[in-house]
Amino acid sequence: MMRPQEIIGLVRLEVALDLRQKASWAGMLLYTVSAVYLCYLGVRGGLPLPTWNALFWTVLLFAAFNALARSFQREDTGRQIYLHTLVDPRNVVLARTLYNMAVMLVLSLLTLAVYVLMFGGGVLDEAEVGVFVLSVVLGGTGFATVLTLISAIAARAGNGMGLTAILGFPLVLPLLLSVMRASKLALDGMPWSITSTYLLWLVLIDVLALALAYLLFPYLWRD
């Protein structure tokens, strides 16, 4: 049963747990900054717009995999069973996904900031900045919705990071293609009427992935 208080409580739990393990947050940020810096060192000069866009999404994709693969790794079996007796597993996955979406929101904006800092924001001069930022955010949250369930599957299979990447990559790829096209159009300065189609589909896919995760998660949770 979907009880809002339960979900909010679970999200609060996630936040508290994450704040306690500040190391994981720091690791995520360090990864992002290092990745951007590495790309910057490799490229140096001015990047043409499509490359700028593609490189940004590549960095964000790997940062997302890094951040989201850990989401079900934290508890061991004992704590899992305890959690299972307290709350409906569906609320667990919903809460985790919502929390991951928030994390990705922050992470994607942060990555964008670091990226613009290093590669220069000249590209953004002619862009529809609002729509671009919206596409970045929607892309990030899209990763979260799809990858949360995948990381749950991978965690239950016992091989977290590697399996999340293998299972998640084909599902994230079409999402990525759609959002890359939307963000490139936004950078080109295309009006909302054109970019909106892609972004609406992204929202649809997010909702669909959430619904599927809600329905399927209980089967993962039993043992």
Partner 1 sequence: MSHWWKALGVVLLLGVVLVGLRTPLSPALVHVSEDKLAPGPVTIEVLAYNTHFSAKAPPQAWIENDGQRVCTDAVEVLADNSLKLSFSVPAGLRKDLSHLVVHDPKAGAITLYDAFWTGAKGNGIADAPCPSMNVQANTVEPFRFPHRSLLNESVRNLFFHVPMWFAMMVLMTISVVHSVRYLRSNDLVQDDGALGAAYVGLLFAVLGLVTGSIWARVTWGAWWTSDTKLNGAAVTTLIYCAYLVLRGSVPDERKAARLAAVYNIFAYVLMVVFLMILPRLSDSLHPGNGGNPAFSQYDLDERLRLVFYPAVLGWILLATWAYTLARRARRLQTLMHHAHDA
- Tell me which residue of 180, 170, 167 sits closest to 140, measured CA to CA: 180
Structure token digits, residue 34: 């290092």
201 binds partner 1 (CB under 8 A): yes
CB of 151 to partner 1, least distance (A): 12
For position 166 contacting partner 1 by CB under 8 A, the verdict is yes
Here the tokens at position 5 are 């208080």
- E strand residue ranges, 127-215: none
From the list 32, 144, 198, 202, which residue makes contact with partner 1 (rule: CB under 8 A)?
Answer: 198
Contact 65, 111 (CB under 8 A): no
Least distance in angstroms from the C-beta of 181 to partner 1: 7
Residue 35 in contact with partner 1, rule: CB under 8 A:
no
Per CB under 8 A, does 158 bind partner 1? yes
Q: Does 167 bind partner 1 (CB under 8 A)?
A: yes
DSSP string, 43-108: H-SPPPHHHHHHHHHHHHHHHHHHHHGGGGTSS-HHHHHHHHHHS-HHHHHHHHHHHHHHHHHHHH
Q: Which of 153, 160, 161, 214 binds partner 1 (CB under 8 A)?
A: 153
Residues that bind partner 1 (CB under 8 A): 146, 149-150, 153, 156-159, 163, 166-167, 169-171, 173-174, 177-178, 181, 197-198, 201, 204-205, 208-209, 212-213, 216, 219-220, 222-223
